[in-house]
Structure 1
Amino acid sequence: MSHVAYIGSGPYCYANSFAMMFGAGAPSPAVIEFATDSPFGVHLIGGTLPFFDPYGWTPEAGFDEALAAMGWRSQVSSGGTEAEALARLRCALAQGPVWIGPVEMGHLRHQPKMTGPIGADHYVVVLEADDRQVVMHDPQGYPYASLPLADFMTAWRAETVSYGSPYTLRSGFVRERRVSEEEVIQASIPANLEWLAMQRGDGMPPGSLGNGEAALALAAMVDAGPDEELRSHLIHFAIRVGARRAADAATCLARIGLTEASRIADRQARLIGSMQHPLAAGDRRDAAAALRGLASTYVELLTALASFSAAVS
């Protein structure tokens, strides 16, 4: 069965925000996401919280290398008091849009049903800020959304986000060289490999698992009956973004001729995506079976990518 590239909505907030900042010369969000290394693994934080991304990875871990691979650089700043952060934001806005995040999504009250912190990270592009409100492009599906300044600052403080620093922004985006999407994909392979091999990602809490072990442990949790918090996390976020990341990895790998690696990534996408209906409908057995099938694919993908890396080095 051939691979079909996915185009559509999904929780690609930082990739879409970067694409907005790059403007007309932006790589596709699929290539941006690939360059941040997100498709290359699965982990179970503390043995309980699953994400279909590499062991120990957070979005920020891949940003600078991704920007370099794409031929861009930016200035990043964070911390300080609320007043200092707002002053930095206004200064940066004088030069153009500003990339903001992580923020706590639960405080973005322009999004329906958001009334307080939910422990979810998010990224936006701020266009304007005055004493009353900010105006932003929120890639969750809200162009030119306005938000009261107090709510925005609380979200930007990111107290309930598990990584990052308060009041982080990127500005001063400069394109240093023109790079084709295929060149971006190929330049990202060494870092992809390191994440997939679990050679990065320090500071994980006790009980954390990665790749095959994580998939099998999650399968056991699902088979036993996931609680509502875990089921909701999977069906509303983790499966959606995980399946898309793997599908985009398959598309990107095929573009540079890595047919076998692309085939494995496509299989990962199909297995992850196949969990959505069973878990939404309460059928845990099929979801657990998909996870058990997924477990061996990480070694397979590592082998395929390592063979390519050895051949070109």
Structure 2
Amino acid sequence: MTGMAVRYVGDGPNCYADALTMVLGPAGPGPAAIEVLTGSPYGLSLHGPDLPIFCPSGWTPEIGIAAALDLLGWTCERTSGSVDEAVARIARATPTDPVVTGPLEMGLLPHHPSLGQAIGTEHYFVVLGLEGDVVRMHDPRGFPYATLPLDSLLAAWQTDAFVYPVEPFITRSRFRRVREVDLATALRDSLPAAVRWLVGPDAASTAERIARIVEDGLTDSQYKYLVEYTVSGGAGRLGDAAVLLAEIGCAGPARVLEHQARLVGALQHPLMAGDRAAAAALWRELAPTYPRLRDELSLVLREGPAVPVPS
């Protein structure tokens, strides 16, 4: 992307989708579509030993970003390496040629309130430049044109706190389109991967396990993770997936996804109110929807989507 300063997109939990939206600009499909194309809506897992997250087991943002860019016909320069190499790469960033940076440890970013320690949660943002020893960035977590001391960035750029292996100091830059792909085609092409995610480790049994965790009482970290991040992010991406799949004629999967979004969104109040029984019941109601979604998507792959009726 060249010629125009990158426009800020953010203030939600889907940092990598927002970051990609910023660098793709008007040629991109927007964060909701990117999020769905990453494959993240198609499953449920435990992050580390006991933190629920609405994405498939084995899925990572790095896997999702690569999938979404490929489905959309885009490529970029993805690099990692030493500290010196990382600094050199972000030093070349400009508002018209920005650099997507991450994953970083979100808990170690000092401009994020009430964190201050590693929490095992990855984060991505868009670097606009290096001004002396200060990094200028668009942080999708709600901080446009934020600044961060370079040393603080480098400290958060370590990846040893994550539960999956990933190299440190990853950047993506020089995004360019190599194929013209419309969004409907990209969404249809994403469905086989969606089914593969859903036939992996059992999301239904994970939902049952989370229900028992809720009944036994959440730890402070589990509670904070759910009410500040997981529930809102999960409900949002499931709702977006429902709308987008309905638009390409996948009515059956869209109905299941909307039902999932409603169940997940309904978790927020009982969790905040400390109503363990109500929250656990919602998790248990969610459990059988995952095999149902897999079956509906498999049916679409066998028979093809219906032709959507214009509104």
Query: Normalised by the size of structure 2, how large is the TM-score?
Result: 0.90
The reply to whether residue 234 of structure 1 matches residue 226 of structure 2 is: yes
> Offset at 1:294?
0.3
| 287-296 vs 154-163, greater mean Cα deviation | 154-163
Amino acid at match of 1:257: G
Amino acid at match of 2:278: D
Amino acid at match of 1:294: L
The reply to whether residue 308 of structure 1 matches residue 295 of structure 2 is: no
Aligned position for 2:16: 14
How far apart, CA to CA, are the structure 1 residues paired with 2:115 and 2:221? 17
Once the two structures are superposed, what CA deviation does each residue of 1:95-131 show, in whole Å capped at 9, x if it has no partner? 8100011011122222223433232210000001133
Aligned position for 1:182: 184
How far apart, CA to CA, are the structure 2 residues paired with 1:172 and 1:159? 27
> Offset at 1:151?
0.6
Aligned position for 1:3: none
How far apart, CA to CA, are the structure 1 residues paired with 2:43 and 2:282? 15
> Which structure 2 residues correspond to residues 268-287 of structure 1 after superposition, within 5 A?
268-287=260-279
> Which structure 2 residues correspond to residues 35-50 of structure 1 after superposition, within 5 A?
35-45=37-47, 48-50=50-52
Once the two structures are superposed, what CA deviation does each residue of 1:132-182 show, in whole Å capped at 9, x if it has no partner? 200000011111001111111111223323332210000121111232221
How far apart, CA to CA, are the structure 1 residues paired with 2:62 and 2:301? 25
Aligned position for 2:108: 107
Amino acid at match of 1:193: V
Aligned position for 1:56: 58
Distance 1:32 1:78, change over 3 A: same
Aligned position for 1:161: 162
The reply to whether residue 142 of structure 1 matches residue 134 of structure 2 is: no
CA RMSD, 1 decimal:
1.9
Corresponding residue pairs, total: 295
How far apart, CA to CA, are the structure 2 residues paired with 1:77 and 1:48? 31
Q: Percent identity, aligned pairs only?
A: 42
Contact (CA 8 Å) 1:103, 1:161: kept in 2 or not? no
Amino acid at match of 1:108: L
Contact (CA 8 Å) 1:31, 1:184: kept in 2 or not? no
Gaps of 5+ in 2: 1-9, 306-311
Amino acid at match of 2:190: S
Contact (CA 8 Å) 2:16, 2:65: kept in 1 or not? no
Aligned position for 1:26: 28
Amino acid at match of 2:97: G
> Offset at 1:277?
0.8
Contact (CA 8 Å) 1:35, 1:66: kept in 2 or not? yes
How far apart, CA to CA, are the structure 2 residues paired with 1:178 and 1:277? 43
| 294-303 vs 61-70, greater mean Cα deviation | 61-70
> Offset at 1:278?
0.5
Once the two structures are superposed, what CA deviation does each residue of 1:38-66 show, in whole Å capped at 9, x if it has no partner? 00010135652321111111111122221
How far apart, CA to CA, are the structure 2 residues paired with 1:306 and 1:224? 36
> Which structure 2 residues correspond to residues 189-204 of structure 1 after superposition, within 5 A?
189-198=191-200
Aligned position for 1:4: none
SS at match of 1:153: helix
How far apart, CA to CA, are the structure 2 residues paired with 1:151 and 1:64? 27
How far apart, CA to CA, are the structure 1 residues paired with 2:107 and 2:247? 37
Aligned position for 2:69: 67
Distance 1:123 1:46, change over 3 A: closer
How far apart, CA to CA, are the structure 2 residues paired with 1:257 and 1:102? 35
How far apart, CA to CA, are the structure 2 residues paired with 1:132 and 1:272? 42
Amino acid at match of 1:162: V
Amino acid at match of 1:124: F
Contact (CA 8 Å) 1:54, 1:210: kept in 2 or not? no
How far apart, CA to CA, are the structure 1 residues paired with 2:149 and 2:211? 42
Gaps of 5+ in 1: 1-7, 199-208
How far apart, CA to CA, are the structure 1 residues paired with 2:192 and 2:106? 32
The reply to whether residue 83 of structure 1 matches residue 72 of structure 2 is: no
How far apart, CA to CA, are the structure 2 residues paired with 1:12 and 1:62? 12
